[in-house]
Amino acid sequence: MKKQIIFLFFLFSLFQADAEAQSRKEKAVANAVESLRMAMIEADSATLDALTQSVLSYGHSSGRVENKASFIRSLVSGVSDFVTIELSEQTVQVEDKTAIVRHVMSAKTNDNGKPGTVKLAILTVWEKENFRWKLLARQAVRI
């Protein structure tokens, strides 16, 4: 009986350690999402560059798809201008070096100087590279 209790305690410890590691990974991904949100509002090209993979596929709700260079250029030039971005209903799922994030984005925009609002369901795929989470793909749909 004593061996069974020790074995069960050992198993519980393993599951607890795995859950804590998963939680740390999820928090790290959520922090990367928050950094991207702020960089998009600020049109911070250096941070946007650091947070995105070179092969980024950035899909808009209109169906337009941008690569990394055009995504950053659109934000920096004001073609895509986010005044505010609020994220809600966020879920983060991590598997090894890949993470899937879903959330609802509500934003005030000023694209090309024209004020507007958007509410979108967003799916992003993140990949861990050199100890940092980087955006690999994004797709948005209108709600």
Flag whether pLDDT at 21 surpasses 60. Answer: no
| Amino acid present at 109 | T
| Residue 106: CA count within 13 A, CB half-sphere | 3
Measuring CA to CA, which residue among 18, 58, 15, 19 is closest to residue 36? 58
Whole-number percent of the chain with pLDDT over 90 = 84
Residue 71 and residue 53: Cα distance in Å, rounded?
12
Flag whether pLDDT at 112 surpasses 80. Answer: yes
Edge-to-edge strand order for the sheet containing 98-111? 65-66, 52-59, 132-142, 114-129, 98-111, 82-95
pTM above 0.75? yes
Higher pLDDT among residues 4 and 37, named by residue:
37
In tens, the pLDDT along 43-99 reads 999 999 999 999 999 999 999 999 999 999 999 999 999 999 999 999 999 999 999
pLDDT at 7: 55
pLDDT at 16: 53
DSSP string of 45-76, one letter each residue? HHHHHHHEEEEEEEE-TTS-EE-HHHHHHHHH
Q: What is the CA radius of gyration of the chain?
A: 19
